[in-house]
Structure 1
Amino acid sequence: MKYCKRCLYPANHPLNITFDGYGVCSGCRVHEEKDVLDWDERKEKLEKIFSEFRSGTQKTYDCIIPVSGARDSYFIVYMVKNIFKMHPLLVTYNKHYNTKIGIRNLAYLQTIFGCDLISCTVSPERVKRITRESLRRKGSIYWHCLAGSTVFPVQTAVKLKIPLIVWGAHQGCDQTGMFSHLDEVEMTRKYRKEHDLMGMEAEDFIRDSDVVAIEDMKQYIYPHNKELESVGVRGIYLSNYIRWDSKAQHELMIEKYGYETMLQQRTFDTYNDVDCFHYSGIHDYIKFLKWGYGKVTDHASREVRLKRMTREEGISMVRKFQNIYPKDLSIFLEWLGMSENEFFGYIDKHRDPRIWQKNDCADWELKDSIVNHAGDEGVDDVRLQRKEGCEFLLVPSKEPNEVEDNHVLIGRACVDNGHLPEVIKRYPDEIL
């Protein structure tokens, strides 16, 4: 397997990746734009976009922001509402695998910024049927999460006639350099299907399925192009206009608003995806079993590019986390009503033969790994020098007696202002 000589990404990245003559991947090359673009100028372009949709009144929503209890939701709302003075409507898709921390983060998010929020919760039994089918056909427990979180904001935009949707980072641009920031790519149905949904839209689920019916998929069907055109729906990515640095952004939100973090099973990043009980556990383990690498590679590659980690330190993180067996598998299987044999039978069918093979004992083994490429020729020629440390904070829980021992379907929607923590009360001008 070919690996980038600057970061840790392999040639079989599912979003597609290319390498130049120096062995540096397309993601690293596009990432170089972050250090040369005029971001003040790009913010001005963003302001021009917002000015087209800003109503100047609290009676009308200026835009929609998809949010959750993790990722960059706090930062996105902070930028759009507090910095650019837009009046957003927040929307969230209930992924069913919620953590208690994620529910608290979302409740505090809504309270701190004083925004209205609409949520979508699909019937648990329907989600289970869809998850069984997505495991069989795509080797994924996360299809419904990706489908729901990318379609519910668009459905809401059409229904309420709110044209502008503001997303955070574009994954294809940020990870693999699929686009330049200067392309200012916007969300499309085509990209969603081919990459977010692994080539399978809701309508595709119904075909050749004895498990999933049209009634199960209504919440996941993308609006027709005529509906989108009639409202003028467009989805922009903030990362095209703001220099994206997930770690720095989270730490700003921790300082200002007490965003809660959590140790993750299979990576060192304590900030991202703390809202999902299975994301950094069984979901990431599935990614490893399919592609031969996991989220720790994503996170280490990001930190190498941002000059907070050397390539060798990143490889050390892969050694530490990549092979960890997820503790949440039994909980997930009990919820779904599936045996381990059935589960792994589905996953094994989706292993990438470029990186996995069976040995003489009929056991699966990796053909290669980034850990075998620490000393590749040419690595020093393209090396980025580390400029700062890479410590991730573990924020004390607002409810320290609670134990994260299972996923939660639903929780509180907001928090009484009288119960906001002191770290938030230091910024009263930004609460409402």
Structure 2
Amino acid sequence: MGNTIIQKGKEKQICSRCIYDETVNGIYFDDNGVCNFCHTMENFLEKYQTGKPEGKKKLERIISQIKIDGKGKKYDCVIGVSGGTDSSFLLAKLIEWGLRPLAVHYDNTWNTAIATENIRKVLGKLNVDLYTYVVDNKEADDIFQSFMKAGVPELDASTDLALAEVMYRAAAKFNVKYVIEGHSFVTEGIAPIGSMYFDGKYIKSIHKLFGKLPMKTYPLMNFSAMMKWTLLKRIKKIRPFWYIDYNKEDARNYLQNEFNWEYYGGHHLENRITAFQHSYFNYYKFGIDNRNLSLAASARSRLMPRNEAIDIYYNQPPFIEDGLIDYFKERMGLSDEQFEKLMNVPNKNYKNYKTYKSLFEALRPLFYLLAKANLVPMSFYIKYTSKDNMTQRKY
């Protein structure tokens, strides 16, 4: 496979290492045809010594500090759980490493039965306590519909932000200083900002314009809350998979053997609103294929042959669970006509609405220090505070 691809009769330059093409926001290529996103991942591999002895030592030092800071407390860390591969496997690893985690779940009321059972099976066998925050289902659906009416692709952004807020709240409630996250840049990459963006102001502004119900139970993280958790409470975010080898297929096999855990068919498909966004909404309305993150990451990390990743991405549409679209319409109370009307709202993006983006950019030096101290993820600093999105500079 060369460095160009023909799609819809048009030739596009494609990264010689991953599968990103010239249409990706903020992309550029070096003399060898390698994109800046791949170089950023190379910089991460060097910084975190991912999968190498030094990376393992770095993580061991962090784990030792978590144990010291958690001495005398019921829990020494919190971890978000969804019933998916990453969080389930990471939870098992935390117990193996001798930590005492509190599992935190934000229930947006769209969980699949498989995900709910997976959480029960893993936590039950590991004897881990669960802290669950359940949002009002009508309120959650009103926020989701607001994003459809706004014509933006981040349909499920409210879930991601709410989980982060709920984890911070749980950590503060139990005086815990560490939030553990199951993200892996090796297997997932980092989303280009043109594909997906969200913050508390973005969610609030869209809901104010298009929502019908007040936000009473939704745990919104605004800027002041973010500053409280990071600067005042000094709650750190740790991503263990950034330091060690992590293979999703091996993780799934382990979970199935140890916990009778069940696979749900694809990345983020354990939740039906997320599955709708990734499999249908973004793909057919915006031409955004959210699989590009994991496929590009798998290709650049040689977890999957590049040709295979390219074939899947450019030639095979996303898998759609049987009945998913009908379930979405029924759950939202939408007729076929109303659904089609929402699907045909003029496409917009985060730049058309109020966000914290300019504030994040202005505070870039502060967020660099916070990222260096693990108080915000380094990926947040790169994606949200840079005007030119990702660059090849070393972090």
Q: Which TM-score applies when normalising by structure 1?
A: 0.66
Tell me what 1:26 maps to. Answer: 36
Tell me the distance in 1 between the aligned counterparts of 2:142 and 2:108.
Answer: 14
**The residue matched to 2:179 in structure 1 has which SS?**
strand
Deviation at 1:33, TM superposition (A): 6.3
1:131 maps onto 2:127 in alignment: no
* Aligned residue among 116, 137, 147 for 2:161: 147
Tell me what 2:258 maps to. Answer: 256
Q: How big is each residue's C-alpha offset from its partner over 1:351-371, in whole Å with a ceiling of 9 and x where there is no partner?
A: 489xxxxxxxxxxxxxxxxxx
- State whether residues 141 and 283 of structure 1, in contact with CA within 8 Å, keep that contact through their aligned partners in structure 2: no
* Aligned residue among 25, 48, 66 for 2:80: 66
Deviation at 1:119, TM superposition (A): 0.6
Deviation at 1:67, TM superposition (A): 0.9
**The residue matched to 2:189 in structure 1 has which SS?**
helix
Q: How big is each residue's C-alpha offset from its partner over 1:93-124, in whole Å with a ceiling of 9 and x where there is no partner?
A: 11322111111111011112111110111111
Tell me the distance in 1 between the aligned counterparts of 2:184 and 2:346.
Answer: 25
Alpha carbons of 1:277 and 1:224: their partners in 2 closer, same or farther (altered >3 Å)?
Answer: closer
* Aligned residue among 330, 333, 336 for 2:332: 336
Taking every aligned residue pair, what percent have the same amino acid on both sides? 20
**The residue matched to 2:272 in structure 1 has which SS?**
coil
Tell me what 1:364 maps to. Answer: none
- State whether residues 17 and 27 of structure 1, in contact with CA within 8 Å, keep that contact through their aligned partners in structure 2: yes
Counterpart residue type for residue 26 of structure 1: N
Tell me the distance in 2 between the aligned counterparts of 1:323 and 1:341.
Answer: 24
Deviation at 1:323, TM superposition (A): 6.4
- State whether residues 71 and 273 of structure 1, in contact with CA within 8 Å, keep that contact through their aligned partners in structure 2: no
1:107 maps onto 2:108 in alignment: no
Structure showing greater Rg? 1
Structure number having the greater helix percentage: 2
Unaligned runs of 5+ in 2: 1-11, 350-395
Deviation at 1:2, TM superposition (A): 3.9
Tell me what 1:421 maps to. Answer: none
- State whether residues 56 and 244 of structure 2, in contact with CA within 8 Å, keep that contact through their aligned partners in structure 1: yes
**The residue matched to 1:161 in structure 2 has which SS?**
coil
Tell me the distance in 1 between the aligned counterparts of 2:38 and 2:315.
Answer: 24
- State whether residues 79 and 91 of structure 2, in contact with CA within 8 Å, keep that contact through their aligned partners in structure 1: yes
Q: Which TM-score applies when normalising by structure 2?
A: 0.71
Tell me what 1:91 maps to. Answer: 104
Deviation at 1:125, TM superposition (A): 1.1
Tell me what 1:213 maps to. Answer: 214
**The residue matched to 1:220 in structure 2 has which SS?**
coil
Tell me the distance in 2 between the aligned counterparts of 1:314 and 1:254.
Answer: 25
Unaligned runs of 5+ in 1: 179-190, 354-432
Alpha carbons of 1:168 and 1:196: their partners in 2 closer, same or farther (altered >3 Å)?
Answer: farther
Aligned pairs for 1:166-315 (under 5 A) are 166-169=180-183, 174-176=188-190, 197=198, 200-209=201-210, 211-215=212-216, 217=218, 219-222=219-222, 223=225, 225-226=227-228, 228-262=230-264, 264=265, 269=266, 272-315=267-310
Q: CA RMSD in A?
A: 3.3
Tell me what 1:44 maps to. Answer: 57
